[in-house]
Chains A and B, each alone.
Chain A
Amino acid sequence: MRRAVAWRTPALGALLPLALIATWQIAASAGTFDVGLWASPATVLRAASATVRDGSLAGDVWASLQRDVAGLAIGVPVGLIVGTLLALSRLGDALLGPSLSAVRQVALFTWVPLISLWLGNDEPGKIAFIAYAVFFPVMLATQAGVRGADPQLREVARTLCLTSWQSLRRVILPAALPSIAAGIHLALVYGWLATIGAEYLFSAGPGIGSALMTGRAQFRMDQVIVGMVAIAVVGMLLNVLAGAAERRLLQSRGL
């Protein structure tokens, strides 16, 4: 009984999407829709194989990933430093804490006009936007992790006469590591979303978000769907890889 349920569940889950695709294909073949606007699953597959063959899909994904990494390379370290500072320094928390919580209330995408005014519509603006998007999850997780570092272990650091820097590096940050790793994992997810958003909202250029825009502008539903699938697959891969890296890291440190 139990075994039957175990293998049937994924099969059942695939039923609905397959049925929808089949219906879509049948409707398209029967000429129900305007062929100019509505692509059939077969057209989508053809577009996918074309973009794979001419390398434009890989090129766009690669451009987006580079942008994502550039944003992460700025946002993650700044989040780590600010989060640690807020958790350890009462003065730092008093000075920065209220402003940061106020700023955090402003929805992410409402920053786009201001960022493009300040940094332009191109690469610097996009990267700044991604960096800003990943800053908060890292900052908040670091702050929570450092603040929650076991006071008993911090007392051990005192009795062992560790300097502030040593106890931060050897005791507090390692104790905060599970929380920090979770924050960085979340930042990877946010970062990818922000990358697509930035490409969509700032100027056009290489990137999978821009490819989506171009597809829409040219009424190419097949291209839009190929782009959406590519974004989803990359996002899922990032999430899976980050989860595996997080588990390995914590395991290797005996946690």
Chain B
Amino acid sequence: MDGLPLRQHSATAGLRPATLDVRNISRVFSAGSGSFHALQDVTLSVAPGEFLAIVGASGCGKSTLLRLIAGLDVPDRGDIRLDGKTIDGPSLDRGLIFQEPRLMPWLTVEQNIALALENAAVTRQERAQSIADHIALVGLRGFEHAYPRQLSGGMAQRAAIARGLVTRPEILLLDEPFGALDALTKVRLQAELQRVWLAEGITMVLVTHDVEEAVFLADRVVVMAPRPGRVSAIQKVALPRPRDRTSGAFVACKAAILAALGAT
């Protein structure tokens, strides 16, 4: 299942992948006497169904940018639009996955996912079906009634991904979702995420400091630079999926991004 050669869209998905427009946004934080330009004049466009990765050194504002898109924070200048509508707060159209699974420890996997549907206009039956579908989608069948403390880090993050997807968002935002996992689990979950993206056909924006992860998953990789946080380069990844991490083209692409990051 890891590598479907073609984009296949599941019949059940609501399928309204969206265009995301980030226009000239700036975000300044005051730090003591001075101020800190987390983002300065950042402009980006994400096509419907696209997988966009954002990489950069810490302090380049990539997580700030994602929080702005999620609606958890407000830009000082510029605006962000989803399908032409300015974002002014969190919405179920935009799912957000954090580095930590952030599951409620007192709820089971099933109840955690159900929490996302608290305000969804669905019948009881649709709700149960949708939860079951998404548990199956992330490969957690059999763990519906497990509590978070009974799950491994990778399984907990799968549950978090199911919670992010169950509302059928137009766009899924991922903030270093695999950053805290061990190398093997990380590689496995990257393949899983690719499978989910292919199956659901939704737009995804992934913030990561792992260049290989970005090249493995993304259609385009945005390279950001710090002080002030800005976009310094955009690299297209035109390799067919599933991508071979050891192929010459993959390694060359990775090298180009590392060079843009100033790491070589």
Chain A residues at the B interface, C-beta cutoff of 8 Å = 152-153, 155-156, 158-163, 166, 170-171, 174-175, 177, 253-255
B199 contacts the other chain (CB 8 A) = no
Contacts of A155 in B (CB 8 A): 72, 98, 102
Which 5 pairs between the two chains have the least Cβ-Cβ distance? A254-B147, A253-B106, A159-B96, A174-B106, A156-B102
Q: Are the CB atoms of A254 and B90 closer together than 8 Å?
A: no
Instruction: List A contacts of B91 (CB < 8 A).
Output: 161
Most A CB within 10 A of own CB, among B106, B116, B148, B167: B106
B148 partner residues in chain A, CB cutoff 8 A: 254
7 more A-B residue pairs beyond the given contacts A158-B90, A160-B115, A174-B104, with a C-beta to C-beta distance below 8 A? A155-B102, A159-B95, A161-B90, A166-B119, A254-B108, A254-B147, A255-B105
Interface readout for B73-106 with A: 1 if CB under 8 Å, 0 if not?
Answer: 0000000000000000011100110101010111
Instruction: Determine chain B's interface SS by DSSP, over half rule.
Output: loop
Inside 8 A of A170's CB, which chain B residues have their CB?
104, 115, 118
Nearest CB of A to B143, in Å:
13
Q: How far is the CB of A112 from chain B (nearest CB, A)?
A: 41
Q: Is the CB of A171 within 8 A of B119?
A: no
Q: Is the CB of A255 within 8 A of B72?
A: no
Residues from chain B with Cβ under 8 Å of A162 in the complex: 115, 118-119
Residues from chain B with a CB closer than 8 A to the CB of A163 are 119
A251 to chain B, nearest CB (A): 10
CB closest residue in chain B, given A174: B106
* Chain B residues in 8 Å Cβ range of A254: 105-108, 147-149
Residue ID in chain A nearest B94 by CB atoms: A159
**B70 in the interface, Cβ–Cβ < 8 Å?**
yes
B118 touching A160, Cβ below 8 Å: yes
Q: Which residues of B contact A171 (CB under 8 A)?
A: 104
Which residue of chain A is the closest to B100 with respect to CB atoms? A152
Closest to A152 in B: B102
Q: How far is the CA of A159 from the CA of B167 in the complex (A)?
A: 11
In the assembled complex, the Cα of A162 lies from the Cα of B91 at a distance in Å of 10
CB-CB under 8 A from B119, the residues of chain A are 160-163, 166
Nearest Cβ in chain B — how far from A168, in angstroms? 13
Most chain B CB inside 10 Å of its own CB: which residue of A152, A161, A162, A255 = A161
A171 to B, closest residue via Cβ:
B104
CA gap between A171 and B107 in the complex, in Å: 10
Complex CA distance for A170 and B105, rounded to whole angstroms = 12
A161 to B71: give the CA distance in the assembly, Å.
11
Q: Which residues of A contact B163 (CB under 8 A)?
A: 160
Closest-CB distance, B242 to chain A (whole angstroms): 30
CA distance A158 to B92 in the complex (A): 10
Report which residue of A156, A158, A159 has the largest number of chain B beta carbons within 10 angstroms of its beta carbon.
A159
Contacts of B92 in A (CB 8 A): 160-161
A152 contacts across to B, CB distance below 8 A: 98, 100, 102
CA distance A160 to B165 in the complex (A): 11
- CB contact between A158 and one of B72, B107, B108, B167 (< 8 Å): that residue: B72
Closest to B108 in A: A254
Per the 8 Å Cβ criterion, residues 102-147 of B in contact with A are: 102, 104-108, 115-116, 118-119, 147
Bound-state CA distance A159–B98 (Å) is 11
Q: Which residues of A contact B118 (CB under 8 A)?
A: 160, 162, 166, 170
Q: A9 vs B118: C-alpha distance in the bound complex, in angstroms?
A: 55
With A254-B147, A254-B148 known as contacts, the answer to whether A160 contacts B106 (CB < 8 A) is no
